[in-house]
Amino acid sequence: ACEKDKPDAFVPPVVTPVTNRNPIIRDKYTADPAALVHDGKMYLYTGHDETPFPQEGYQMKEWLCYSSPDMVTWTEHPVPLRVTDFTWARADAWASQVVERNGKFYWYATVDHRTVPGKAIGVAVADNPLGPFRDARGSALITNDMTTKVNSFFDDIDPTVIIDDAGQAYLYWGNTGCYYAKLKANMTELDGPINTIVLPSYTEAPWVHKRGDWYYLSYATEFPEKLAYAMSRSPEGPWEYKGILNELAENSNTNHQAILDFKGKSYFVYHNGANGPAGGSFRRSVCVDYLYYNADGTIQKVIMTKA
């Protein structure tokens, strides 16, 4: 065979790291990233993995906040929210998201409920992205007795909120089952029934974002977790499954994402367990990589980079 008949040589994709420092935060273990763009900065909100016994599960008592003008230099801010800020909560500062509406910042957060067995979702509010945040209701927004039980203790975790172009806010959440409900304009009360979204091999960690005319619902799938995604023209679905977005994160059995645009680029923020020899599934660390969309709106699989 002559040269032109040979199959094309494999050309590895060109990978441009956002930073030469992935994980981006090294002095603390950070997990379950959520992010928000405000006033020229990216605000990053994370859980704080604090376990002294890395084989024995999560110890998470507070959330952390960082900001960056360029996705490379990160400033840590004072602890903006703790489990103890929700007097009705017992423990477990799990995944959360902050969204802005009319100059106020609403923080939807997973905690363990003191009196209703299982996880619950609370909402805190502040006048600026750094807080101080205070409990906006004095009670949980979602408790475990409100949803169809699939896994009774972990059903009600991992809130994500989007406000559509007409101003309607939607809350999505769930472990094993994925739920959504409308929120009232006050952002602190449900407005209508809780609905279930059926997605292939859904585990947890929904994140809903919009880009152009498409809504995207990304989520953790299987266990250990990869991330998959679905697309829709409406925040109420129907959602069309589009495949795996991210493979297993290094040295972590969970995988949890925030997806957003900032200063003309698209970012994929996630965690892995690769921060030094003591890192792992219960000592996770936030990373950031670029995300690329195809012309038809689908997303290319993420290429995770490491310093």
CA 148 distance to own-chain centroid: 23
When asked if residue 35 is in the footprint of ligand FUB (CB under 6 A), the reply is no
Which of 49, 155, 158, 204 is the catalytic position?
204
Would you call 39 a catalytic residue per the annotation? no
Q: Is 111 in the site for ligand FUB (CB under 6 A)?
A: no
285 binds ligand FUB (CB under 6 A): no
Q: Could you identify the residue written with the tokens 């960056």?
A: 68
289 in active site: no
**Kind and range of the H or E element at 180?**
strand 178-183
Q: Considering beta carbons, is residue 47 or 80 the nearer one to ligand FUB?
A: 47
Q: Which two tokens stand for residue 50?
A: 């604090």
DSSP, collapsed to helix, strand or coil, labels residue 14 as coil
Phi first, then psi: give them for residue 71, nearest 5 degrees. Answer: 70, 5
For ligand FUB, the binding residue among 25, 31, 81, 208 (CB under 6 A) is: 31
Catalytic residue among 32, 92, 135, 225: 32
Q: Is the CB of residue 213 less than 8 Å from the CB of residue 231?
A: no
Q: For residue 6, what are the contacts with CB-CB under 8 A and spacing of at least 6? A: none
Among 47, 131, 159, 174, the residue binding ligand FUB under the rule CB under 6 A is 47
Among 157, 183, 249, 269, binds ligand FUB (CB under 6 A): 157
Least separation in angstroms between CB 290 and ligand FUB: 22
- The answer to whether 19 and 288 are in contact (CB under 8 A) is yes
Residues that bind ligand FUB (CB under 6 A): 31-32, 47, 58, 94-95, 110, 157-158, 204-205, 254, 256
Q: Give me the active site residues, please.
A: 32, 204
